[in-house]
Amino acid sequence: MVRNCFIAAAFNSEVRKFADNASIYFQDEASQLVAQCVIDMAGRRVLDVCAAPGGKTSMIARSTEAFVVAGDLHFSRVERLKGTCRDQSAGVQVIQLDGTSCLPFGSKSFDTILVDAPCSGTGTIRHNPEIRYSITKTDIDELSRKQLLILENASDAVAGNGRLIYSTCSLEREENEEVCALFLQRRTEFSSELPHVDRRFHTPEDFARTVPHRDDMDGFFIAMFRRR
């Protein structure tokens, strides 16, 4: 389903050894679907805006010839991002940036931009069951406002005919379909395109979703926009 993806049937000391020496990197299959979408669209220059811990970033950099720039907000997350890229031998230019502010790049600088936005994480409840007791409606409203702001700021750096890929590990429409609808209303120079994933993940609105109970992977949402 995802190129160069292997599924471990069981976790044992040998698998742990490979992970500890960075011979392999554990990443949910749905997360890899997001990275694969970027790989298929990459072009010459790629930006990953909310990149830590770096699993998607390193997969993109190792699978394309693109010049990859990646950043995150906090110093600790930037350092973790650097570590992942270093361990995976991924050539990435890592910087510290705030996606809720204007990005430090010229207009239309990147062929493809990934916004894997901060979210409620409700698609990962099978691994993080405490989420159901800690996330409130207010949290989701605040997150959706931040997600839209990051998406709009990132869109300024998308080149003509370039792609902007938006993803979350949330199951909530407020963080996904509704954010995308508002983005398309405000940024009319962008149009929605069907993400490059297996068609069984496509939704009636031409987005993509993975669902834990159906797909045996985390719940991710993927949207793709093209600048006309």
CA 208/CA 10 separation, integer angstroms: 28
Picking from 122, 168, 124, 130, the residue whose alpha carbon sits closest to that of residue 147 is 168
Q: Are strands 45-48 and 92-96 parallel, antiparallel or unpaired?
A: unpaired
CA neighbours closer than 13 Å in the CB half-sphere of residue 213: 2
Total residues belonging to the chain: 228
On whether the CB atoms of residues 183 and 225 are closer than 8 A, the answer is yes
On whether the CB atoms of residues 140 and 90 are closer than 8 A, the answer is no
Catalytic residue check, 119:
no
Exposure string of 143-155, with b = 16+ CB inside 10 Å and e = fewer, is bbebbbebbbbbb
**Residue 48 amino acid letter:** D
Q: Which of 85, 119, 169, 180 is catalytic?
A: 169
* Catalytic residue set: 169
